[in-house]
């Protein structure tokens, strides 16, 4: 899968988000090994030190764990993965709410619109 | 341990009083990929040739592992010139033997693997290769050494975008963790994602040395965009 990196944001943040996404969507499964820093850097076409930094941050958050022998694996804590997923969902919702408020909708209107849009889709 | 490269008050004046570099101070650490960026004629190639020991400084000094450029530094510095020099009727595989004779740290298997990945025939004669293919072969030779410092002058300028990606990947996956790659380029957008640091050079002077992430974070723009601003004509 391709790594789409924007040119105007720090690379490190974007790699972090991408790996998080891969864990949440199950591309990297709970309890399984993830590719090495070098492999991931080559795949993404980014500097290995930047990739290292992103993985270290993910380790700190607990989403991946360093293994004694070598490499890293995705946490076995499914609850943590679920929480990360929820956190990302809230971020999306906040962004969405911000934009809708700019368009002049209040909360009730937004909820009503959402239901309406979903209803139309299902028809 | 001393710094990989330390440049102190370096000045280079060519004949006819052309000042190519003026009072340059730099430290190039180990284990980094560093971009040397600047407009045409800013002194990039001069600096690279001084580090590679091909030119002698007018004033100031360069220290590689703490000592001045010489046979010792040349054995740890792998240099890619900006021009291809392959005009001979030598075959690609003979070139591999040639490099293996010359450099103790040359790894023929690595060169052969890369040639295969880029579909370059080892039995082809150098002078029959296209310009882009010559560049690829030359870069493969240079990257197949286990050097401490790779100095690459415009390594991807003449190759097609697909091979460019492969070459950048090669640089990322081949260099050893304690080695540094210093490369000059004006194709910044293609290359900035693989860089740790950039050095901006203008009219023979260093105007900036910073990490790519710092620039992106503090300026909110890519190094490529920032470069265009700094060097706007």
Sign of CA dihedral A48, A2, B223, A57: negative
- Check CB contact under 8 Å for B173 and A42: yes
DSSP 3-state of B48: helix
Structural domain span for residue A87: 78-122
Q: Both A55 and A83 in a single domain? A: no
**Between B163 and B194, residue with greater pLDDT:** B194
Q: Which runs of E-coded beta strand occur in chain B?
A: 5-13, 19-28, 33-37, 59-64, 77-80, 149-153, 180-185, 197-202, 205-211
Q: Both A66 and A95 in a single domain? A: no
What's the average pLDDT block by block, 10 residues per block, for chain A (123 residues)? Answer: 79 92 92 90 90 92 86 91 93 93 92 87 67
CA distance B81 to B153: 5
Contact B34, B197 (CB under 8 A): yes
**pLDDT value of position B123:** 94
- Check CB contact under 8 Å for A42 and B169: yes
Contact B194, B172 (CB under 8 A): yes
B216 chain-A contacts, CB cut-off 8 A:
8-11
CA–CA min distance B223, chain A (Å): 8
Task: State how many domains chain A has.
Answer: 2
Q: Both A42 and A90 in a single domain? A: no
How confident is the model over B123-171, as pLDDT tens digits? Answer: 999 989 988 888 889 999 999 999 999 999 998 887 888 888 888 888 8
Q: Both A45 and A83 in a single domain? A: no
Q: Is residue A56 part of a domain?
A: yes
ipTM for the complex shown = 0.75
Q: Both A28 and A61 in a single domain? A: yes
A35 chain-B contacts, CB cut-off 8 A:
none
Q: Is residue A37 part of a domain?
A: yes
Contact A22, A35 (CB under 8 A): no
Nearest to B169 among A8, A45, A49 (CB): A45
Q: What CATH number is attached to the domain comprising A32? A: 1.10.10.10
Contact B31, B180 (CB under 8 A): yes
CA–CA min distance B125, chain A (Å): 31
Q: Both A69 and A17 in a single domain? A: yes
**Which H, E and C letters describe chain A, residue by residue?**
CCCCCCCCCCHHHHHHHHHHHHHHCCCCCCCCEECCHHHHHHHHCCCHHHHHHHHHHHHHHCCEEECCCCCEEECCCHHHHHHHHHHHHHHHHHHHHHHHHHCCCCHHHHHHHHHHHHHHHHC
B225 chain-A contacts, CB cut-off 8 A:
7-8
Q: Tell me the fold of B5-230.
A: Rossmann fold (3.40.50)
Q: Both A39 and A86 in a single domain? A: no
**pLDDT value of position B48:** 95
Q: Both A51 and A20 in a single domain? A: yes
Q: Both A103 and A52 in a single domain? A: no
* Contact B187/A at CB under 8 A: no
Backbone angles phi, psi at B151, to 5 degrees: -115, 110
CA–CA min distance B227, chain A (Å): 13
CA distance B209 to B197: 7
Which of A55, A74, A93 terminates a domain? The answer is: A74
CA distance B81 to B123: 24
- Check CB contact under 8 Å for B194 and A9: no
Q: Both A68 and A89 in a single domain? A: no
Q: CA gyration radius for chain B?
A: 18
Nearest to B213 among A10, A38, A41 (CB): A10
Q: Both A111 and A59 in a single domain? A: no
In order of A28, A53, A60, B8, B106, the CA distances from A49 in angstroms are 21, 6, 17, 27, 25
Q: Both A39 and A59 in a single domain? A: yes
Confidence of residue B6 (pLDDT cuts 50, 70, 90): very high
A50 chain-B contacts, CB cut-off 8 A:
196, 212-213
DSSP 3-state of B26: strand
Segments making up each domain of chain B, as ranges:
5-230
**pLDDT value of position A105:** 93
* B-chain residue closest to A15, CA distance: B193
- Check CB contact under 8 Å for A12 and B213: yes
Would you tell me how many other CB atoms lie within 10 Å of the CB of residue A16? 19
B224 chain-A contacts, CB cut-off 8 A:
7
* Contact A5/B at CB under 8 A: yes
CA–CA min distance B175, chain A (Å): 10
């Amino acid at each position: 899968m391709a790594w789409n990196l924007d040119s105007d944001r720090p690379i490190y943040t974007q790699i972090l988000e991408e790996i998080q996404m891969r864990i949440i969507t199950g591309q990297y499964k709970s309890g399984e090994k993830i590719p090495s820093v070098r492999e991931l850097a080559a795949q993404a076409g980014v500097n290995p030190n930047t990739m290292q930094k992103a993985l270290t941050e993910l380790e700190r958050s607990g989403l991946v764990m360093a293994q004694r022998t070598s490499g890293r694996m995705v946490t076995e804590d499914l609850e943590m993965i679920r929480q990360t997923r929820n956190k990302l969902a809230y971020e999306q919702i906040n962004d969405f709410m911000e934009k809708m408020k700019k368009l002049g909708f209040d909360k009730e209107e937004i909820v009503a619109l959402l239901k309406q849009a979903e209803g139309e889709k299902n028809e | 341990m001393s710094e990989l490269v330390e440049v102190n008050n370096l000045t280079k004046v060519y004949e006819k009083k052309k000042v190519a570099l003026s009072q340059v101070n730099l430290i190039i650490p180990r284990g980094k990929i560093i971009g040397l960026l600047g407009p045409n004629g800013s002194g990039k190639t001069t600096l690279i040739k001084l580090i590679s020991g091909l030119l002698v400084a007018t004033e100031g000094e360069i220290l590689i592992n703490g000592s001045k450029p010489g046979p010792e530094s040349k054995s740890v510095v792998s240099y890619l010139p900006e021009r291809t020099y392959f005009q001979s009727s030598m075959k690609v595989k003979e070139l591999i033997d040639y490099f293996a004779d010359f450099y103790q740290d040359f790894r023929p298997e690595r060169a052969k693997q890369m040639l295969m990945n880029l579909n370059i025939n080892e039995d082809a004669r150098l002078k029959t290769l296209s310009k882009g293919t010559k560049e690829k072969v030359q870069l493969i030779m240079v990257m197949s050494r286990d050097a401490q410092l790779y100095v690459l002058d415009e390594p991807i300028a003449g190759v097609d975008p697909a091979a460019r990606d492969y070459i950048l990947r090669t640089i990322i996956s081949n260099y050893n963790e304690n080695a540094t790659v210093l490369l000059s380029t004006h194709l910044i957008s293609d290359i900035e994602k693989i860089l740790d640091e950039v050095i901006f050079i203008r009219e023979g002077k260093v105007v900036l040395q910073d990490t790519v992430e710092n620039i992106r974070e503090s300026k909110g723009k890519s190094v490529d965009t920032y470069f265009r601003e700094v060097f706007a004509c």
